[in-house]
Structure 1
Amino acid sequence: MSNHGNIRTDGAARDELRQRCLSLVRRWQPLAQGGWDRNAARQLGDELDQIGDTSERLGLDKLNNDALELAAYLCSFIDDALLPNTRDLARLAQMVEALGADLTDLSATTKAAVHTLPSARISAEMPVVRTASLPPARVAEKEIVENIAQPPQQAEASAATPAAEPLAAVVPVLPPAPATDFSALLATPPAAAALVRPTPPTATASPPLTSGNDGLMRLPRLIALHGIDDSIAPGLISALRERGFDTRVSSEADDLIDFLGNAVPGALILDARKLRVYGRVRAIYDKLAADGEALPSLIVVSPDADLGHRLLAMRAGAAGFFQSPVDSLRVLAKLDELLAHTAAPAWRVLLVAPDRNNAVDAARALAERGMTARIVGNGQGTLAALAEFRPDVVVLDCNLPDVGGIELTQMIRQQPEYAAVPIILAADASAVNLRFDAIAAGGDEFLVKPLKTRHLLSAVTSRVRRAHWLREVIGNPDGRDSRTGLYSRTVIIEKLSAALGDRSAALLTVAIDRAGELREKIGLTGLAAIDAHVGNLLRTQLDEVDLPAQFTDFHYFVMLHRRSRNDITDIAERLRFALATHPFIYQGQSHPLTTSIGMALLGGEHASVDEVVTNAEAAQIAAAHLGGNRVLWFEAKEAALLPSDPMLAVRAVLSRPLTPEQTQFEFQPIVALAGKLSGQFELSFKVKSTQQAGVAVAYADLAPVAAECNQLTTLDRWLLERSLSVREEQLKRGRQLRLFVPQSVATLLDPDIPYWLARELKERHLSGTGLTLELNCSELIDAGARASERLKFLHQSGVRVCLVDFGRDWAAVHALKNLTIDFVRLSAGLVSELGTAKSMSDTLLALVRKAHAAGCAVIAPEVDSINRAHLLLRLGVDYGVGPAFARPSGTPEFDFTRPLW
C-alpha cells in the first residue's frame, strides 16, 4: 500500500517516524476507549499534522495523503463542534486503520487493526470517563505505552514490575533496529474496552453528555440562568424548555459556581446586576480557554436601560445583551445562532484543474462535507459550466492548457451575473509572485499547490459564507439570484414601470397548481429547490432579454417583449409544457407539476404597475378555477366582482355551532425590516358564507355580530384553542412559532379568560411567549385600569400584546405609558398613504419613535410593494406584513432567510 520508491531508509527517518507513530497511538487510545472527546480529538489532529509534515519532508506520498485526509475529516468535527454519529465514527476508524496500515508497511509487519469507538447511541448518550481517578486497567495501559517509548534497558526494568507484567506480552519490547508492530497498539485492549459501557436507554431522553480529560461534563443543551425569573424575562424559562433546552436556575452565586465547577453548559444567561460573579466563572474555565476550547456563550439581561450594565456586559465578552422589556423569542433566536449545529452546506463548487487525479481527490473531500463538485480541465469548459452548473465558488488552477488562470478570472468577472461569485486560484510555490496579479484580476483567494484538503475546505467555506452574507446585505449586483436565475421583485417592478405603455410588452403570472399539497410534501426546506427547478426551466425557454422573477412561494413573474399577442401566447404555452413535462425531483421523490399562467399587456393610456399585476393575477386565478394547466389572457370585459353581504352570512353561520368546514385559517408571515425576530405569523380567521360560495367574512366584520349574538367570548376562546393546537403541531416538527391572534377587549375583561389561558398553557406545556393577542386601541383605552391589570397578568405568563390601528387615535400614543404593550400595528390607512406627502412620513416617523420610546416594536400592515417596504425601513419600522412578502397561506410556512431585496 505504501509508495516504497519514495521511502528513505536512513536510520534517522525510521526513528522519527517511529516516535510520531507512538505519539499517534497515545492520542488515539482515549478516543478508541473512552468515547468521543473533543480535546482528545484536537490532540490527535495536532499529531496528524506532525505526521503529515514529516512524511511530506521524507517523500512518503501515501502516508502523507492518508494523514492529511484524516486530519481534514477530524477537523470537520472539531472546528464545527459537532458530535459524530455512528457512521461518522466508523468512517473515522477506517481512516485511522488505513493510516495504521501505512505505518505497518513502513515497519514491515502485519496490518494494524483499529476498532470503532464503543458507543451504541452516540447521538443520545456518550460514555463518560473521569480522568481524575483512572481505574487500574487504564493505569496499566498507560504504563505500557510509556514502556514502549523507553530505551531497551529501561523497558526491561519496567517489564519486571508486577503492575505491567500481565499486559507486557501484548506489545513486544522494541529492538533498537527494525520493525514495529502497531497492531497491538492501535487495537483496543480487552481490559480497557470493558471499562466503557453505553448508557442504557431510559424513559426520559437526556441530553448528550461528554466529559473531557479535565473531568468537566459537557452539557451543550443546558442553559444556566443566574438571577433570571419571570419578573425580568417573562416566559423565558418556559420558552427555553419548550424549545428543548434543559435549564438550571440559581439565585445564589455559590450555587452557580458549585455547578459550573463540574459542568460546562451551552450558555449562561445572567442578570446584569450580578455580572460580578462572571469573574469567578472565567477563573473556573481558564484551562478550557488555554486549550483552545470555546467557553460557554454569555447572554446578559438588564432590567433597565442602564449604560453601565451594557458596558460591563461588553467588557465581559457577552454575545448578547437584552434590556427590559425582554422578548423571549429574541433571546431564543440568539441562542440558536450561538449553539446551532447546521447541516453540511449543499454548495456547488466548480473545480478547474488540468490534473484530473488531484481534482478527483479534492472533489471527494468536498463531497464528504455535503458539497457538489464539477470538474473541468480547461477554460472553454469553465465558461460553459458557469451557465449550466451555477456554482457558488470557482477553484481554478493558474496553469490551464488553453488559457491562463488570471486571464480566465478576468473573463469571468466581465460577466455581471458572476461578478460576486468567489474565485480561488491555485499555483505552484514557484509562481507565488502571481498572487498580486490574481487579486488584481478579481480573485478572492490564492493557494499554493499541492493543495491540502483542510486548506481547500477552509478557503471554500469562508469565501462562500462571506459571499452569501454580502448578498443578503447588499443584494445581487444585477438583482438576479445566482442559483435560480430569477430576478428579484424590485428589479421586475422597476422594469415594469419603465415599460408601461409599450404595447409589445406583457406580464405573465406563473403559479404552480395545488401548491398547498406540494408544500406539505416538500416542506419548507424544499422551497429553494423548487425555485431553482422552475428558474432553470424558465431560463431555457426564454430569451436573454426576458425577465423571469420570483414573486412569492410557488408564484413567478415573467416580463417579455414580442411582436404580437400570438407570439406571447406561444411563449406561455411553451413554458406551461416545459414545466408539465419536467417533474420536480426532491429527495428521491418525483413531483409532477402543472401551472396556471395569466397574461396581461402593459399597453394602455392609464395603465399602472399595480393594475397590470392585478390583471395578470386575475387571469391566472381564472385559469386555476378552470382546472389549471392552462394559459389565459386577461379580458377587461369579462372581469366582474360580485358584492357580498357579510352581515347576513355571519348571522347565518353564528346561528348554530361552528364546524371546521365553515371556518378558514390563514397564516401570513411577519417579516423583519429593522427588527431581528423570525418565525412570527399573523393568524387570520374567516367564516365562510352559507349563502355565497367562495365568500368569507374576516374577524373584524365577524366580531360585532358575534357580540350581538352573545357569542364573542365563545368565538375568541375557540380561536385561542385553535392557535394553541397549531403551536403544538409545529413544536412536534421542531418549529417554535409566535402567532398573532385577533381578540376582543370584551373577552380580555372576562375574569375567567386570563386564568383559563394560563391553565391551558400549563396543561399543554407551552410557553406563553409564542402567543400575541391583537387588541383594538380605542377599546383597550376605554377599558382603563381593568385592562391594565389583565395585561400584567398575561405578561407574567409570557403572553404578548399588540395594539392594532395604532395612529388612528393619538390617545393611544399617550396610553402606551400605562399599558403593558409589546407591539403596535400601524393603521393601514397611514401605511397606504405613505409616499403621497412628506407630512405623512413625518407623522409615521413620530409614531414609530413614540412606540420605540415605550419599548414597543412597530408592525406595518398591508405592505403591497418592496418600494413601500424600503420607505418603512427608513422610518424605523421593525416588521412588515403584506403581499409584498407573501400571501396568506393555509400553513405557517415561510423562508425567513430569503433576502427581501
Structure 2
Amino acid sequence: MAAREPASLPEDPAARQRPRVETPPPHYWRRWTQDAKDEATTMASGKPPAGSDLPAKAKATATTAKGGPPEDAAESPYRILIVEDDRTQALFAQSVLHGAGMKAEVQMQPEGVIDAIQRFDPDLILMDLHMPGLDGMRLTSLIRQQPQFQLLPIVFLTGDPDPERQFEVLESGADDFLTKPIRPRHLIAAVSNRIQRTRAQLRQPAPQANAMLRSHPETGLATRGWLLQQVDQALQESTVGGLFFVEIASALGLRERYGYAAFERLMSQAGSCLARIGAPAPVARLNDNSFLTLMRDLDESGLDQHAQRLRAGLAEQAFTVRDEEQVQLRSAVGYTALSIGFEGAGPALEATERSALQARLHSEGVAAYVPPSDTEAQERMALLEGQLELAYQPIVAVAGNEQAQYQVLLRLRQPDGTLLSAGQVVPAAEASGRIADLDQQVMEHALDMIAQRNASGTPLRLFVSQSPRTLAREVFAEWLLQTIAARSIDGTSVVIDLRLGDALIHSVTLAEFCRRLMGAGVQFCLSQFEPGPEADALLNQLPLGYVRMAARFAGAHADAQLRDQLRGVIDQAHRLGLQVIGQQIEDPQAAAAMWMGGIDYIQGNLVHSVGTDLDFDFQNAVL
C-alpha cells in the first residue's frame, strides 16, 4: 500500500516571511459574522468569547440549554477542508485562508476524505475536480450519501472552462464552483459567504426536545416520527383505515444516472405527488426511496383501491429531472389494515414493508399484508425451539494465503434431534419478529470463537450473515461495538455478510450501519451478487471489502456468456479495490473457470465441506 501524504500540510515557515499581495488583518474572518459588532468589546476586554475553550469538534454536538445550536458556532474561526492532489495549489489555497484567520486543512488522498471530514469537522469543503482514481464529482456523490454530510457546503475550484462540466459539477451535489486562477480576495469572500449562510441556518432556534415536529421544513411532508406517532394513536383508538408503504423502483439506477442532487429533487417531487393523490392523508419519507402514508377512516374494502390509486397516480406523472428531460416512476405499494391489531407502529410498519416486498413480485405492483394463521404462527415458533449450532466452511485464497477464514452457517438443533438449516430458520424468525434475537446470538457465538482463537494464538476471520432489520437497530450497533472492544477483538476479523436483495432495499440504513462499524475495523461483504445497474451502483455506495458471487456463477465453465459476465464483475470489483469470492465450487472445472476469471477466493465442497471443526490447513491448501 502506497504511503499517504499527511492529512494536513504544515505551513511553510519561509512563506510567512515572504510578503503577499493581500494580507488581511487579524480577525478578518469576523467581517462575515453577524455578531461582528461585539468584536470591539471582546478585544477591548481581553476576554475570549463564550465557549471558545471548547474543542473544535464540540461545535457540532454541543447545544444550549434551550436545545438550540452551540453557543460558539458563530465565534469559532471558519474551518475549510481543501481536497486537492496538487501540492502547490493546495498550499496556495491553505495560505490564503490561513491569512484570513480561517483554519484550513489539506487532504491530498481522495480515499481519506470521509475520515478527514469526521475528524476535522469542516464548515466547507473546497474540492478539486480532476484527481487520479476518484474525481471530485464522484467523491462529492459519496459524501452526499452520508446523511450527516448532506448539508455540508462543497465548493469546486477548477480550471475546466467547459460550461457542461460546470453543470455536471452542480448536479453531482456541489453547492458552487470557482474558476482557476482565482484572486485571494475572491476566494476568501466566496468561502466566507457560503459558510456564513450555513451558520446562520444553524443559529435558528431548534424545536423543543419534547415536541414532535409535524412537518419537514423543506418538503412540507410529515416527519417520520410524527407519522409513526399517529399510527400508534390510531391503533390505540382502534381506528379503521390502513397504512401504506410506497417503494420507488430503480432508485439506485436513478441516483447513478442523474446524481445525488437530482435524485433528491426527484424524490421530493414524488413525495409531493403522493401527498396530492392521497390528500388529506399525511405522507412521510421513510428513507431514500420509500414513503409511508396513513389513511384513517377508510373502510377496509377500499384499501386495495387506494393503493392502486397511489401507484397509478405516481406512474402517470412526468417528473422533470434536468433541463427538459422527464422520467416516470414505477413503484410497489404494500399495505395493511389497521384492524389486524398490531401492538404498535413498529410491527405495523414491518408488516407494510413485508407486503411491499411481495408487491414487487406481482404484475399489478400492489399487495396486502396477510397475517399468519394461528397454526402457521405456532409452527414458526416451534421451528425456533432448539439449540443454536454453528457450522463453518473455509474461504480459501486462490493465490495462496495463510489467513484462516470461514463462512459461518446457522444451524438449529431441535429437541427431537432434527437439524434445521438457515433457510428454514431465518424466514421463521423474521415472520415471528425474533430475527434480531437470533442474529445477536449468532454474532455473539462468532465473536466468542474469534476471542478464543486469538487467546490460543490461532487467529481467524469469520464471515457472518445478519438481517437488515437487525442492523437497523441502534442498540445492536452499540452492542456490537462494545462487545468487540470488551473482547479485545481486531475488528478486521469480523466480516458482516449483506445479502444483495436486502441491500438494494435498505441501502441507506445499511450504509449508516457500515459507517458506524468501519471505525472499529469491521468489514462488509455483499453476498449473492448478480450484476445489474442497481447492483453495480451499490458497489460504489457501500463501504465493502468483499463480493460473493451468486451460486449460479459456479457453472461459468459450461456457459461462455456466464463466464464473460463473471469476468466483467471481477474486473469491476478489482477496479474498486474489492475482493471476489466464488461459492458452491464442487468440481475442478468450476474452480479452473473461477481462476481464469481472476477470482480471489473460492469456497465449496471441492475445497472442504461444511463442518463444525475449524481445523482446515490454509497454509498447505492446494487448489
Q: TM-score range by the shorter chain?
A: 0.3 to 0.5
The higher radius of gyration belongs to 1
